[in-house]
Amino acid sequence: MRNLTLRQLEILRMLAATSSYTRAAARLNLTQSAVYLQVRKLEQEIGLPVTEQVGKKVFLTDAGEEVLRFGQRIAEELEGLGRSLEHLRGVDEGQLRIALTSAVNAFAVELLARFLLQHPQVNIRLNIANRKEVLASLERNDVDMAIMGEPPQSLDLIALPFHRNDLIVIAPANHRLADRRGILQSDLVRESFVLREPGSGTRETVLRYFSEKGLTVREGVVMNSNEAIKQAVKVGMGVAVVARYSVLVKMESGYLRELSVEGFPLQRAWHLVHRKGKRLAPAPLEFKEFLIQHLYVKTPEERRQTLP
């Protein structure tokens, strides 16, 4: 096994993910012949075939699956080595791998910008996705931490609520309910709703909230970004429930109105989340401490006063 290489293990992992020599080669920026060659060398090294062709798809043999399992453990050990070396280098030469749900994007990016003012040498790797994809990144250990709304209770996560996140109902400025006070929830659900896609935390919160009240939301349009939802509401495609912070500018410009609905705003919080037992390197640990300093910033107005 002395001649087995990390490159061969990476190729095997990509073959398992794509079931194709062609696609694996493309993702690895290699020629297909180079992938074939490395697989043959791996097979010669272990004395067993690691792939088999069934129709047009490539599958790992039992031996291939076993090599892949050990390869993943090796990759985890190497990542642990990288984390340990980061501890030796210290905060300002470290890396922060962080994921954001798209609902928190604008707010969290400003926090990251302020953090970089204090630690300009930190290298940030940022991934913005919906809640389902962010949780998958945490599960795969692709990121150190994430910022999102309500984290699930089922996963083995540590969640630090660090900032208030009010969810409000918005409508176009000329909406028939725009000037009404104390709108009943039963009246609101007669409206067509613009919702996020399945997997979105905001969508789950909205549907669960009205379901607990015995009400059903009328799903009109489904979109996969908050910016698209704001535009859709602005042009009259329906009402929506969004984070107040995300629509401040459009409300101040007069394009959107916050509806006065009983039970709203829903008082939620932004959370910093990482896996339980995760050994945080200096850079992500310092960012966590940085956020703790903002625990008492309760409103968007206070936030604007404290951020540069």
Residue 214 has pLDDT above 90, yes or no: yes
The per-residue pLDDT for 308 is: 40
The mean pLDDT value of the chain amounts to: 85
The per-residue pLDDT for 303 is: 44
Q: Which architecture, in CATH terms, is 6-81?
A: Orthogonal Bundle (1.10)
Tokens 């400003």 belong to: 110
Residue 144 has pLDDT above 50, yes or no: yes
Pairwise CA distance, residues 266 & 240, whole Å: 13
pLDDT in tens, 8-36: 889 999 999 999 999 999 989 999 999 99
Residue 280 has pLDDT above 80, yes or no: yes
- Residue range 87-163+269-306, CATH number: 3.40.190.10
- Whole-structure pTM value: 0.62
Which ranges in the chain are annotated with CATH 3.40.190.290?
A: 165-268
Q: Cα torsion for 3, 11, 141, 93, to the nearest 10°?
A: 70
- Residue range 165-268, CATH number: 3.40.190.290
What percent of the chain has a predicted confidence (pLDDT) above 90?
41
Which ranges in the chain are annotated with CATH 1.10.10.10?
A: 6-81
Q: Closest Cα to residue 230, out of 109, 106, 110, 99?
A: 106
Residue 307 has pLDDT above 50, yes or no: no
The per-residue pLDDT for 252 is: 65
Residue 304 has pLDDT above 70, yes or no: no
pLDDT in tens, 35-85: 999 999 998 888 889 999 888 898 999 988 999 888 888 877 777 777 666
Q: What residue type is 277 in one-letter code?
A: G
Which helix (H) or strand (E) is 96 found in, with range?
A: strand 95-101
Q: Report whether 165 contacts 268 (CB < 8 A).
A: yes
Tokens of 102: 């798209």
Q: Report whether 265 contacts 166 (CB < 8 A).
A: yes
